[in-house]
Structure 1
């Protein structure tokens, strides 16, 4: 089988992180990639990276043939600790009606995103992140 045909049978994944609390990319966030072949299969580690200065992971490995599900795991707690953002900025807290969180850690210390894949497709999965929430979507 040619490598061109093999490439059409595998899927690929990329991601980036935007810290929406400051409107900037989140650099140096550890990201791990796990895969499984079937809903009931065991997860297998498949790669790891860190976001670059632009918040992007450009070096995640291509997925093996037969993979049906992918999990991206983002270690966000160290990022927020390094930015001293375990709480929102004073301006953001003044705008919130919710009581101030009084613990010492971030609310979401890690984010795990699981999604289904189809061979031959590319999946770009951006993470929009702030100290008290996150959102993901299938990008292009």
Structure 2
């Protein structure tokens, strides 16, 4: 069984990003809109069954970055990734600043 979580961190401020809107798109095209919690984490995907396939997380970063830093080069950040059959837990963190971002498979 696969599970998915995410975490958004503002590297310029050194803090997690609370209440950031995310959109998960499944291999079947289903879209789930949610947001990060007070610690910048997200694992609320309704009742999605995470089967093998390609997924996309869209992080809507512009409003947050403009509010906190005065500007944002990116309106949103898309992270595309693949889940394998019985791949276990997948963690997709996003590190953001007004002019850069980074993501990786975490644990």
Query: TM above 0.5, one fold?
Result: yes
Write out aligned runs for 1:1-140 (5 A).
8=1, 11-36=2-27, 44-61=29-46, 63-64=48-49, 66-83=51-68, 85-87=69-71, 106-120=72-86, 121-140=88-107
More helix per residue: 1 or 2? 1
Mark the runs of 5 or more structure 1 residues left unpaired by the alignment.
1-7, 37-42, 88-105
SS of the aligned residue for 2:30 comes to: strand
More strand per residue: 1 or 2? 2
Mark the runs of 5 or more structure 2 residues left unpaired by the alignment.
none
Distance 1:19 1:72 in 2: 17
Quote how far apart the aligned CAs of 1:24 are.
0.2
- Provide the aligned length of Structure 1 versus Structure 2: 106
* Alignment root-mean-square deviation, CA: 1.7
Distance 1:17 1:135 in 2: 10
Does the Cα contact within 8 Å between 1:49 and 1:59 map onto a contact in 2? yes
CA 119–24 in structure 1, closer or farther in 2 if over 3 Å, else same = same
Quote how far apart the aligned CAs of 1:128 are.
0.6
Instruction: State the structure with more CA Rg.
Output: 1
